[in-house]
Structure 1
Amino acid sequence: MEHIALYRAWRPQSFQDMVGQQHIIRTLQNAIREGKLSHAYLFCGPRGTGKTSAAKILAKAVNCEKGPASEPCNECDSCRRITAGAVMDVLEIDAASNRGVEEIRDLREKVKYAPTEVRHKVYIIDEVHMLTTEAFNALLKTLEEPPPHVMFILATTEPHRLPATVISRCQRFDFRRVSLEEQSERLQLICQQEGITAEDEAIQYIARLSDGGMRDALSILDQIASFTDGQVSYQQVLDMTGGIPSRQFAELAKTLLEGDVGSMLQMIEGFMQEGKSADKCMENLLYYFRDLLMIKMVPAADKLTERVLDPQDFREMAGAFTRGQLFAMIDTLNHYQTEMKYAVQPQMLFEVALLKLCGIPQQENVGNEVTASSGASAASTSEVQQLKRQLAELEKKLERAMQGGLGSGGGSDAQVAQSHRPATRSASPRISSTAKLPSGLENYVAQRSSPEFVAAESKWNGILQAVKDEKVTIHAWFVNGEPVSALEDSVLVAFKNDIHRETTEKPANKQVIEQVLERQLGRPCRLVTMMLKDWNDAIQGAAEPPKENFKLEHTPEGGGESKEPWIDEALQMFGDDLVVIKE
């Protein structure tokens, strides 16, 4: 006899055979029993949860020769023929292949004819979200007011893609994912009936892999049973599905906690040699740390996750990590899992992600030490910062005084006092508030024709191309800059637009560019940026030194020393007669 797939052979034929949808079954049975059936139903939910099966069972229940009954008898001619799909009045339509307006118009024309074989015409439209907008519009009026002998049952996995006008005309039932316990009981029953010997751990792992879909669970069981000749063990399920047991993840987590990079890389290589896929390993590891976090934060977390076989083992490992470490690890893995979808070498990204995880426990420990010591040193740090600011102000005042003539020896005390006053005009180029000038700018101006700069400028097109090869988004910002000078360990690039400069200065982008510069120029090289306008002002300032305007300043009579700058200012403005100095 030809073999029939398990999910087809064990497809529910009555409401009592359905698994995990009791809230829907009871509502439909009560509606049939009380004669309160609707003309249109919308069954939505994840794949493999029984939407189409429930639609067929409902069609049999309303057309059963011994009914309408809350359970179809599956013995009368109508029930058997509906099960076999041989009744013309019960139509199952695939909306994915009949999605146009012409098919819906044809359906609308045939709706008005009375059924010929059973009581009710039932139209089951599967994957209804695939219909076009025009097809939905053509269906609306018929869906709202069909003839009394017609029932519509719409099934979809994506109800958000349906127009609100369609949803409002139907009774909506949301099918939920089948729980781990219900799936395990159903799989054990099927194994007993089919003569399959399976370990409890294997059954639970198959149920977890199905992600709440009963059809997926039966397909996995059918595949593994064929591979193992009816003897299903936990290890065989892992080998067939490419899974990794929790104990190996515990060993991997231990190497991450200890920062043992060598052992961690050896474990990854072992996974790859066994035929495991990097993306599946990443997904399973992400779920593992998620379960650790749940068990650490919630005492009864084994109820919150369906992946924990032995909660005690998870609790011991969860105690070794802090919450901050687990949050950081989950964020890192989630980031690299997204990047892995577009990676040519997913194994390399998996290794990089785990290398980054190795540093998280050490980083947090260092952070805790710094936090503990920062309170004690906060006062001293603020004092040092204040002294640095005062020293910088004094240096600026001294520089202004030297430019005012003190350095030549011909200045008076009044002129020194005048030099302490804030200048109303400055001959130096104005600096944009968003663009900071690099330190040692005069050195870059002097070296703008140096051999280092000539070498960098000659290879600039190759540098841009190499940056584009590394990451095209960085090239889009970096190409707007132009090299203007170079020192031994740095290249100065000037930008016309501040947004381009700031984006290039981001640490991740700057690191990529500096790596390219090192490869192209053959030496370690830093990237230094500034605005092109400030660079032009600096060059002009170097060509034409600013001229100082000398002003006659008031000197106190008698050549005495000036006690304070504001006293000289007051004497100059109001005269000696009106100013009285008091100690």
Structure 2
Amino acid sequence: MSYQVLARKWRPKNFHELVGQDHVRRALVSALDNDRLHHAYLFTGTRGVGKTTIARIIAKCLNCETGVTSRPCGECSSCREIDEGRFVDLIEVDAASRTKVEDTRELLDNVQYAPSRGRYKVYLIDEVHMLSTHSFNALLKTLEEPPPHVKFLLATTDPQKLPVTVLSRCLQFNLKNMPPERVVEHLSNVLTQEQIPFEDAALWQLGRAADGSMRDALSLTDQAIAYGQGHIDAAQVSEMLGLVDQRHVGALIDHLISRDAKALLSEVTRLSEQAADFETILSDMALYLHRMAVAQLLPDAVDNAQGDREQVLTQAARLTAEDVQLYYQIAIKSQEDLPLAPDARTGFEMALIRMVAFAPQGVPSEGGSPLSSQAMPMQGQPVSEGAPENDAPQSGQPDSTKKKELTDLSLTEPPQSAPVPQPVAQGVYGIPDDPQNIALNPDTPAPEPQLVKFTPPAGGSPKPTDQTTPPVSEASADEGRFGDTQPQEAGSRVQSARASLGSGLRTVQFPSASADKISQASKRSAIPSQETGADHLRLHNSVNTDPGSTPEKTPATGNDIPPWEVVPVLSEPNPIAEPNPIAEPNPIAEPSPVAEPNPIAQEHPSPPADQPTQTPAPPTPEYQDMMPEPMSEAVKQAPALRDTALPETAEVEITPLVGPCPEQLNTNQDWLQAFAHLPLKGLDRSLAKNAALLSREGTHLQFALKAVTENFLTPERQASWQASIQKLFNEPLTIEISAFSTDLDTPEDYEAALKQRRQQQAEALFARDPVIQALQQNFDAQVLSESVEPLI
């Protein structure tokens, strides 16, 4: 007895032996058991997934001598003849070899006759998409209303080529590809019953190489048995399939983890000596990295397909999740770039170099130890020498916790018993620098001091010289805000939190005012800040005239500024203010004396008539140069045509974008109409698009270029332009550029004018539509002209 290949020997004989395709099996078994059979079935799917097998099982279920059932006996004469391919009432047709309409007519001539042996006459048409159009048309009527004793079973790998008239007459089932897990399970069962020794890693290689086809998997298994002389070994299967041993992939991943560039390139050299397929190696590395990512997320879900589960778990523990994702992404993208590389090895080495070079730990060295990176030190690492202390994060406390702590502290209301010192801010949104211009009203509650981000002078923070006078510092301000209970601890907490936000935030230094200036301020009226609109912030600072008064919390508004935000400081000239001798920050902040009530100062006093109105200073010329030019919202109009005219069309039509090509190229009008038909692309087409035809003498054409420099015109572009004209008109025409400016129309102008006319025509047709007019009349609708565009 001759040898029978595994793919034919292990073909399923009934639905319960069918591997996979549970969605198809469930529907067909239910239809057979409940006598709800359709007259035409269509099975689609890739090769080797069971289309013909399912069709033959249906034929056995319909013609089994025990009756119509989902469990054919397999022992009666009908079942045996169908298995052996000699059942007279099962007509199998290869549509690829019988595509003519005469073959289809001959096939349908016997449809009207009753079956000879079985209960149904079954027509199995394989690769039905290969039939011709006339064959489909001849089949439609019979396929729609066949005799009651006829069933049609169609199978195809390309359902997109079937007419919709055929698809609508069939009950369609789409068979899925076989996953590697299902293929390995079936191969393990087959080889166990065949008593052939095998390795699980070899079966996984065969399952992935089958690419979803069970028949391909069984055929490869036959080849592997012959290659391994009666047993299936993983190494021999790798050699047979041209794959790379997984030990090489694990070694590459291990060198990536240790960041040893020299060992990586040495491993590539060894793979190159074995004539390895580097595209396959990249794919295997991506699969390996995917298993590592699964191991980091769910270790129990890692399979032992290659017998290296412990190695995958160990290597996954040595890498961060970010590194695994980075390596996986580079491996996937490098497969796209590999065909563009000078050779496969170069592309593969560049992929490995990118994996090592883009890792966040720094640039690797020859021995594998990473060099120092230029990035900022990570959490837990020591701060490099020379870095400011305020920039270093506090030990054991992340930045997010410090930011939250700062926010909570800034929202804490001050106690009612603690006095709040009121510093004087200079030049903030219209507030004059001179303290004489500050209203001193004892009846007005003192607002909460605002924290202003301020960059200290280059000389560093000034140091106090008089120890008897307490300086106005952030610590003293925080003491008033957070209460007198442990003021130093609260101040240190705020200072620590602000230091963690970066080196840009420093302690606020307010200018101090002398006693004589304060006394002068009580004799003058306050000049209010000019209104600048609802979108601007106004900062009002006043001096508390009553030391025993209780500060009140200002109501929270949308303009509250957190301590870490930047408050812009604008200096505006005050024409009535005296020169401020304390413009520079004074390290010594003097206490504000108690001033007498000023009956003239009000909340919003009007300036006297004899005083000029304060106006903001105009922007400097340097700032004016940096401002962008205002953009015009006017629609750009197409240039008017001078020597040509657009084609005439009816009022209810839209001018075609591409008109008919002229037979001759004699005038500029012919050139404008023929340009759309030229086989030019890219810069060559842009060159011809800005040209106008001046004249023609025999077969010689003279052109003038418009808005094109001579450097842009190269001999190659001119030769490509000339060749396209010769190909279009089938004449040995030659071209010459005789001028670089012209008043004639160019294809650029012609196309712009044509598009403008088409847009106007589309808007006119849209406006004349009765539905649009009804919407405008009934609902007062408006048409957005910019949303209307011609589609033809």
What is aligned with 2:314?
A: 316
CA distance in 2, matches of 1:185, 1:419: 79
Whether the aligned pair in 1 keeps the contact of 2:201 and 2:305 (CA below 8 Å) is no
What is aligned with 2:324?
A: 326
TM-score, normalising length from structure 1? Answer: 0.59
Whether the aligned pair in 1 keeps the contact of 2:99 and 2:132 (CA below 8 Å) is yes
Q: Tell me which of 365, 370, 376 is aligned to 2:502.
A: 376
1:258 aligns with 2:265: no
Post-superposition offset of 1:285: 1.8
1:338 aligns with 2:464: no
What letter matches 1:349 in structure 2? G
Coordinate RMSD, CA, aligned: 4.3
CA pair 376-201 structure 1, distance change in 2 beyond 3 A: same
Q: Give the helix-richer structure, 1 or 2.
A: 1
SS of 1:197's equivalent in the other structure is: coil
What is aligned with 2:272?
A: 272
Query: What are the superposed Cα offsets for residues 267-305 of structure 1, whole Å, 9 maximum, x if unpaired?
Result: 2232233343222222222222233233334455437xx
SS of 2:48's equivalent in the other structure is: coil
Post-superposition offset of 1:52: 1.2
CA pair 104-376 structure 1, distance change in 2 beyond 3 A: farther
What is aligned with 1:355?
A: 353
What is aligned with 1:155?
A: 155
Query: What are the superposed Cα offsets for residues 490-511 of structure 1, whole Å, 9 maximum, x if unpaired?
Result: xxxxx969xx9xxxxxxxxxxx
CA pair 144-364 structure 1, distance change in 2 beyond 3 A: farther
Post-superposition offset of 1:102: 5.0
What letter matches 2:146 in structure 1? P
1:12 aligns with 2:12: yes
Whether the aligned pair in 2 keeps the contact of 1:302 and 1:308 (CA below 8 Å) is no
SS of 2:358's equivalent in the other structure is: helix
What letter matches 1:87 in structure 2? F
Query: What are the superposed Cα offsets for residues 533-558 of structure 1, whole Å, 9 maximum, x if unpaired?
Result: xxxxxxxxxxxxxxxxxxxxxxxxxx
What is aligned with 2:581?
A: none
CA pair 343-110 structure 1, distance change in 2 beyond 3 A: farther
What is aligned with 1:537?
A: none
Post-superposition offset of 1:342: 6.7
CA distance in 1, matches of 2:319, 2:683: 40
Post-superposition offset of 1:161: 4.7
Whether the aligned pair in 1 keeps the contact of 2:38 and 2:171 (CA below 8 Å) is yes
CA pair 94-319 structure 1, distance change in 2 beyond 3 A: farther
Post-superposition offset of 1:367: 8.5
What letter matches 2:318 in structure 1? A
CA pair 81-364 structure 1, distance change in 2 beyond 3 A: farther
SS of 2:73's equivalent in the other structure is: coil
Whether the aligned pair in 1 keeps the contact of 2:200 and 2:306 (CA below 8 Å) is no
Q: Percent identity?
A: 36
Post-superposition offset of 1:19: 1.4
CA pair 151-319 structure 1, distance change in 2 beyond 3 A: same
Whether the aligned pair in 1 keeps the contact of 2:64 and 2:79 (CA below 8 Å) is yes
SS of 2:502's equivalent in the other structure is: helix
SS of 1:376's equivalent in the other structure is: coil
What letter matches 2:376 in structure 1? E
What letter matches 2:357 in structure 1? G
CA distance in 1, matches of 2:83, 2:55: 11
What letter matches 1:8 in structure 2? R
Structure number with the bigger relative contact order (C-alpha 8 A, sep ≥ 6) is: 1
What letter matches 2:502 in structure 1? A
What letter matches 1:112 in structure 2? Q
What is aligned with 1:529?
A: none
Post-superposition offset of 1:226: 0.8
Whether the aligned pair in 2 keeps the contact of 1:184 and 1:207 (CA below 8 Å) is yes
Query: What are the superposed Cα offsets for residues 353-377 of structure 1, whole Å, 9 maximum, x if unpaired?
Result: 2222222314789586389889635
CA distance in 2, matches of 1:361, 1:378: 29
CA distance in 1, matches of 2:63, 2:98: 26
| Length, aligned pairs only | 408
What is aligned with 1:115?
A: 115
What is aligned with 1:575?
A: none
CA distance in 1, matches of 2:504, 2:243: 51
Question: Which structure 1 segments of 5+ residues have no match?
Answer: 381-385, 387-417, 434-474, 482-494, 501-531, 533-583
Post-superposition offset of 1:132: 5.0
SS of 1:369's equivalent in the other structure is: coil
SS of 1:111's equivalent in the other structure is: coil
SS of 1:92's equivalent in the other structure is: strand
CA distance in 1, matches of 2:296, 2:273: 33
CA distance in 2, matches of 1:239, 1:419: 77
What is aligned with 2:556?
A: none
Matched ranges for 1:172-571 at <5 A: 172-298=172-298, 300-302=300-302, 309-341=307-339, 345-362=343-360, 369=376, 376=502
Post-superposition offset of 1:236: 2.2
Post-superposition offset of 1:243: 2.7
Post-superposition offset of 1:321: 3.3
CA distance in 2, matches of 1:367, 1:98: 71
What is aligned with 2:637?
A: none
Query: What are the superposed Cα offsets for residues 452-476 of structure 1, whole Å, 9 maximum, x if unpaired?
Result: xxxxxxxxxxxxxxxxxxxxxxx96
CA pair 189-285 structure 1, distance change in 2 beyond 3 A: same
SS of 1:186's equivalent in the other structure is: helix
CA distance in 2, matches of 1:243, 1:193: 28
What is aligned with 2:85?
A: 85
What is aligned with 2:60?
A: 60
Question: Which structure 2 segments of 5+ residues have no match?
Answer: 364-372, 380-390, 393-500, 507-567, 569-617, 633-680, 688-706, 713-739, 741-792
CA pair 75-332 structure 1, distance change in 2 beyond 3 A: same
What letter matches 1:376 in structure 2? G
TM-score, normalising length from structure 2? Answer: 0.45
CA distance in 1, matches of 2:684, 2:291: 43
Whether the aligned pair in 2 keeps the contact of 1:207 and 1:217 (CA below 8 Å) is yes
Post-superposition offset of 1:197: 1.6
CA pair 94-356 structure 1, distance change in 2 beyond 3 A: farther
